[in-house]
Every structure is written in C-alpha cells, then in structure tokens.
Amino acid sequence: MEKQQLNDMLNNLHKELEQVDSVDETTISVLSALREDIQHLLSEKSAGTSEEQEPISERLGEAINHFEADHPKLSMAIQHLLDSLAKMGL
C-alpha cells in the first residue's frame, strides 16, 4: 500500500471519528487516543517503525472492541486500517 493510500484511509477514519455522537468518558478517551495516533501516522516526521506502530495497533484493536456494538461502521473502518497496517508490516 502506498503512503497516499494510507493517508486517504486515515483521513476517512478521522472523518468517521468526528461523526461519533455518544461521548461517555471511555469514548472520549478512545477517540482522543485514536486522533493522536492518526495525526502521528499522517505526520511526515513519523518514521513508522514497528516499535512505534505496536502500541498504535493495540489501541486500534481496543477501539474496534469499544465501538463494535454502537458504531459498527466505525469499527469496520478501524479494522480495515489495522489490516492494511499489518499488510504493510507496520
């Protein structure tokens, strides 16, 4: 996957995150972490080492579990991103 495709996917996920309307404390925490991760991945300065990506992958997995019941579309978008990162070796 090219970097541009990853950027497009991350931007789409970011748009999905902005549409989440239920905001309990756990959701706020999950959304905040995902936004930071997305910004980090989109950053040109990010080298994208596997050591940096491991915690991001873990948080994406946690986000999938958190949003699965109430926001299945968002959960699927996160899963797609996680699968793509894995295919890239990240």
72 Cβ partners below 8 Å, 6+ apart? none
CA distance 11 to 29: 19
- Taking the whole predicted model, whether its pTM rises above 0.85 is answered as no
Neighbours of 67 (CB within 10 A): 25
The alpha carbon of 27 is separated from its chain's Cα centroid by a whole number of angstroms, namely 14
**More confident site: 90 or 14:** 14
pLDDT digit string, tens, across residues 6-21: 778 877 877 877 777 7
**What percentage of the chain reaches a pLDDT higher than 70?**
81
Q: List the domain boundaries for the chain.
A: 3-87
**More confident site: 68 or 46:** 68
